[in-house]
Amino acid sequence: MTKAQDIIRPDVLAMTSYPVPDSTGLIKLDAMENPYTLPADLAQHLGEHLAGVALNRYPAPRPAELLAKIKRTMNVPAACDVLFGNGSDELISMMSMACSRPGAKVVAPVPGFVMYEMSARFAHLEFVGVPLKADFTLDADELIVAIDEHTPALVYLAYPNNPTGTLYDDADMERVIAAAKQSLVVIDEAYQPFAENSWMPRAADFDNIVVMRTVSKRGLAGIRLGYMAGRPGWILQFDKVRPPYNINVLTQATADFLLNHLDVLDAQAADLRAQRAALASEVAALPGMTVFPSAGNFLLVRVPDAAVAFETLLTSRVLIKNVSKMHPLLANCVRLTIGTSEENAHMVAALKKLAPN
């Protein structure tokens, strides 16, 4: 009988699937989710709206009205087109697939979002990681050296970066964009609601950039909707590898409804920014803790022992992310998602158990 080992690519056989730990019964602060649900009245109206969706029909492959609403509400430049993905993960996969020519490469700062490298490998692209500086700021000089040496198809710049929370200096990013004359620079703004700064207004100012976002961090992680804005020439080509009907009817209807209520989502983001500042101050005051500046809805914290910190919080029913093995620069680092004030207080109480007696 044929076995998977006889057919599946050797590099895939050697991989592990993307880990998603079971969070049942835990305070879930490991995945940068918005902890707030919709207000009850708004959720009821959304339910009524979704009840009218035709589940028996395929979704529109390029829903014109929703695309126009995204462009209008998210201040996408008029000269740009927009492409939807099933989360930004699918957009990354689509770009990797479209750029998968023999010998093509991807360059990105590391540590960074793991899907840049994973999607590159799946599409047979070589991934070149350029380490950040010790303080997690962008090493623009080394990144430009790598671009000159490898002439990558894609260069990723997360703004801000996950898992570090760093908001790269705009002047450094401009230098990288200028150096990447034969590359497409993808500016990933997944955490834009918490950074407030954005490259979206400049998406049409350069020949070689696209700006990518997701609604996940706005409190809509469950609907899986990402979008990318850029000059029409780029969007047209990436749209060719988009799976047909990739955005389901419930996602489209939910996004269409909630784009009329951005004030609710924006208020939640503002609250989380305030919670971030308070949590950073509390954690920084604990012995042995180093909190790095963050423009996301999470904090990167260096602790005396990341494994001990993870297990200690787990015994207190708090699930965080141990990122210490992702890259040498992240030695003994954990990532704390910003939760509600009550969740954050519970997490701080658990962190205090790490203090030496």
Q: What is the CATH number of domain 4-40+263-352?
A: 3.90.1150.10
Rounded Cα–Cα distance for residues 238 and 233 (Å): 9
pTM: 0.95
Rounded Cα–Cα distance for residues 223 and 216 (Å): 8
* Angle 283-289-294 from CA coordinates, rounded to 5°: 60
Report residue 154 as tokens: 């894609």
Provide the 3-class DSSP secondary structure of residue 141: helix
Q: Where in the chain is the domain with CATH 3.90.1150.10?
A: 4-40+263-352
Place of tokens 């389901």: 248
Report strand pairing: 321-322 vs 333-337.
antiparallel
CATH architecture type of domain 54-260:
3-Layer(aba) Sandwich (3.40)
Gap between the terminal Cα atoms of the chain: 60
Residue 139 CB neighbour total at 10 angstroms: 16
Question: Quick one: which of 11, 236, 243, 19 has its CA closest to 127?
Answer: 11
Q: Is 154 exposed, middle or buried (0-12, 13-18, 19+ CB in 10 A)?
A: buried
Q: Where in the chain is the domain with CATH 3.40.640.10?
A: 54-260
Tens digits of pLDDT across the chain (357 residues): 899 999 999 989 998 888 888 899 999 999 999 999 999 999 999 999 999 999 999 999 999 999 999 999 999 999 999 999 999 999 999 999 999 999 999 999 999 999 999 999 999 999 999 999 999 999 999 999 999 999 999 999 999 999 999 999 999 999 999 999 999 999 999 999 999 899 999 999 999 999 999 999 989 999 999 999 999 999 999 999 999 999 999 999 999 999 999 999 999 999 999 999 999 999 999 999 999 999 999 999 999 999 999 999 999 999 999 999 999 999 999 999 999 999 999 999 999 999 775
Give 176-181 contacts, CB < 8 A, sequence gap 24+.
176/138, 176/140, 176/143, 176/144, 176/147, 177/206, 177/208, 177/209, 179/144, 179/147, 179/148, 180/147, 180/152, 180/155, 180/208, 181/208
